[in-house]
Amino acid sequence: MRTVVLTMKASVIEMFLVLLVTGVHSNKETSKKMKRPKFTVPQINCDVKAGKIINPEFIVKCPAGCQDPKFHVYGTDVYASYSSVCGAAIHSGVLDNSGGKILVRKVAGLSGYKGSYSNGVQSLSLPRWRESFIVLESKPKKGVTYPSALTYSSSKSPAAQAGETTKAYQRPPIPATTAQSVTLMQLLAVTVAVATPTILPRPSPSAASITSIPRPEPVGQRSQEMDLRSTTTYTSSQNRPGADPGIQRQDPSGAAFQKPVRADDGLDCKIDLSFLIDGSTSIGKRRFRIQKQLLAGVAQALDIGPAGPLMGVVQYGDNPATHFNLKTHMNSRDLKTAIEKITQRGGLSNVGRAISFVTKNFFSKANGNRSSAPNVVVVMVDGWPTDKVEEASRLARESGINIFFITIEGAAENEKQYVVEPNFANKAVCRTNGFYSFHVQSWFGLHKTLQPLVKRVCDTDRLACSKTCLNSADIGFVIDGSSSVGTGNFRTVLQFVTNLTKEFEISDTDTRIGAVQYTYEQRLEFGFDQYSSKPDILSAIKRVGYWSGGTSTGAAINFALEQLFKKSKPNKRKLMILITDGRSYDDVRIPAMAAHLKGVITYAIGVAWAAQEELEVIATHPARDHSFFVDEFDNLYQYVPRIIRNICTEFNSQPRN
């Protein structure tokens, strides 16, 4: 019996061992069948920006040729997500121009990025940006799974066009093994650039996030508070971070902009107005919406119409674009509807480029510009521009454009080093007396600018930049009609007067022209108030008859002061342009001094036998800019551009206060 039991036990053990061996072989076969597929590294193009890729960490392959300067890079070691991924890889030294694989990791946005030249790539400086990234060698960490297909913020990404597939955004799990150590140099770069970077919260995945994600907003406490304020109404039991209990905060939903605001009843508000709105990526969607609410409030307050104010909108980012011009919408209701439909373009904050665009393109007759209405531009800036504005603004002012600036939430003390052009608003506005500038500490306070802004842009008497060197003068020509001139040369002198007159904007409210002819005696050919259009003035000049006689230039200056300039308007520049061909029979010193004391700017043009020292006495100081000598009458025409240039240079050099 015992033998039988032992035999049965041995059989059971043998069967168990067979099953065990079979199971091991089976597991090995299953393991072979379930072997992990090989990781495929996605490829991207040189122009793909890190901000377009949603994945927080990924490995990609860059093509050759990404060293080209057209692929912009912003920052050093730590790069703004607005940068080319592959361009940043070359700048950092991880890749060369032949391309290759890299590891990209998203990190916090910085309050500023400094440009530098490295490895054949010139990176650029940039103000604060919400998101940054660093580039490392493509050494995947053990246990971390990297995506074989990247998730883009748009299905029309450049990489997708190159064959890279896209997929809907799904928040990836972030295992503890994901974090890798950053090199010492990269850590120092972050520390120098910003003391306490803040990562703004991502929105939770939704159907909308399949094709788009919110554009990056500026980093820092103000951005984080803005995200909270824009979605929350704080009460005494739910206080804004850092606020005293019991203080109630309202979401800037636009209610403050809906209050009816109108210019004073007696205020003439016939203006041609262009709003330059900030569409840069850093402003964020919520601030962009608040900006539009201000525009809608202005449209409602101005009572838009053909007989009153007209308004157009230009949005700027990398490049400016006109949403609608002055003649697109002829009433406030249609204009407000159009403003609501404006979408944010994104990009940098190139204000200078936008001002140049408006100067050259916006205020044209084809776009509805009216010569009788002042041209006004209101520029809105979140933080500070990414390009310079001074030169573009100077040209705008000289073109008769009144520039107003609204700056919201300017640079903090630790951000000022990244401002491209310090004191940029004062360099841009029409005058630096405070009338043309608004600085708003918080986007919550933007609605407070509505009423004063409407009143200021409608105060046409104070729109000083509507006055240019070509539309704001009373010009009196004092013409030598003495016998030495002769009939033929006198007609040449009149043609010279005609050529100068053609350069100015003539009307009863713009530049006005008068003329005196003299010999021993003086004759008023026509006064400032006699003709108010350019064709009428040119016809009157042509009709002036040659007188003939002696040369009493001093008496002629006195006559012009009494008969012409005494009737000049107080707000007009007084210009006397005297043309003579010989030495005066009387003294010119006392009359010339009288003209200077009365504020008359005198240009003296001598021909043939005119005395140079006499011309310099007559001319306003400095004489080199106001006196000219021509050897022959036929050469007078050559001096027209120079005289106009000097008139405008002198006008534009006036203090802007």
Residue with tokens 């009423």: 451
Q: Please give the structure tokens belonging to residue 317.
A: 């980012």
Residue-range domains of the chain with CATH: 50-137 (2.170.130.20), 272-462 (3.40.50.410), 473-653 (3.40.50.410)
Between the CA atoms of 530, 533, 538 and 541, what dihedral angle is there, to the nearest 10 degrees?
10
Pair 565, 524: CB distance under 8 Å: no
CA distances 312 to 335, 405, 644, Å, are 9, 16, 32
Residues 514, 526 contacting (CB under 8 angstroms): yes
Which residues of the chain register pLDDT less than 70? 1-38, 154-268, 657
pLDDT given at position 10:
53
Q: Tokens for 90?
A: 């070359």
Q: What is the pLDDT of residue 225?
A: 39
Cα separation of 452 and 464, whole Å?
17
User: Taking all residues of the chain, what is their mean pLDDT, rounded to a whole number?
Assistant: 81
pLDDT of the residue at 522:
97
For residue 599, give both structure tokens: 């504020």
What's the pLDDT score for residue 154?
57
Alpha-carbon dihedral sign for residues 51, 53, 58, 59: negative
Measured distance CA(385)–CA(56) in Å, rounded:
29
How far, in Å, CA of 46 to CA of 87, rounded?
7
pLDDT score at 170: 40
Rounded CA-CA distance 516/104 in Å is: 78
CB atoms within 10 A of CB 221: 12
DSSP-based three-state secondary structure for 75: strand
User: How many Cα atoms are found within 13 Å in the side-chain-facing hemisphere of 627?
Assistant: 18
Question: How far is residue 86's CA from residue 50's CA, in Å, rounded to a whole number?
Answer: 9
In angstroms, rounded to a whole number, what is the distance separating the alpha carbons of residues 458 and 29? 85
pTM for the full predicted model: 0.62
Q: Report how far residue 539's alpha carbon sits from residue 76's, in angstroms, rounded to the nearest whole number.
A: 66
Burial of 277 (0-12, 13-18, 19+ CB in 10 A): buried
Q: Tell me, what's the pLDDT at 256? A: 56
